[in-house]
């Protein structure tokens, strides 16, 4: 998982075409963002039964034993053993 990323395309339609989703499925407040950090609210592209859609999400890894997600940004570069 990367630390920070950008999404600089100003128009919704090209982003939707690249992701293979309906432009209306992108968040209503979509805008270009130049410094998206772990735990910032954003969206992800998911697939269910060959149908793609976007879903609101936050990046970061929360361990199964954690009591809350306060340290999610600390584990952004985890890798399996």
The per-residue pLDDT for 71 is 65
The per-residue pLDDT for 3 is 75
Q: Rg of the Cα trace of the chain?
A: 14
Count structural domains, the chain. 1
| Tokens standing for residue 8 | 């600089």
Cα 52 to its chain centre, rounded Å, is 14
Q: Is residue 67 part of a domain?
A: no
Distance CA 39, CA 57 (A): 9
Q: Is residue 80 part of a domain?
A: no
Q: Is residue 68 part of a domain?
A: no
Beta strands 51-58 and 41-48 are: antiparallel
pLDDT at 55 over 90: no
User: Over the stretch 1-47, which tens digit does the pLDDT of each residue have?
Assistant: 567 889 899 999 999 999 889 888 888 888 899 998 877 888 888 88
Distance CA 1, CA 16 (A): 22
Name the residue range of residue 31's domain: 5-60
């Amino acid at each position: 998982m990367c630390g920070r990323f950008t999404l600089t395309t100003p128009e919704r339609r090209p982003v939707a075409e690249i992701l293979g989703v309906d432009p209306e499925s992108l968040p209503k407040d979509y805008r270009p963002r130049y410094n998206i950090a772990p735990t910032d609210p954003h969206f992800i592209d998911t697939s269910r039964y060959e149908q793609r859609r976007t879903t609101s999400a936050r990046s970061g890894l929360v361990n199964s034993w954690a009591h809350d997600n306060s340290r999610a940004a600390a584990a952004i570069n985890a890798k399996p053993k």
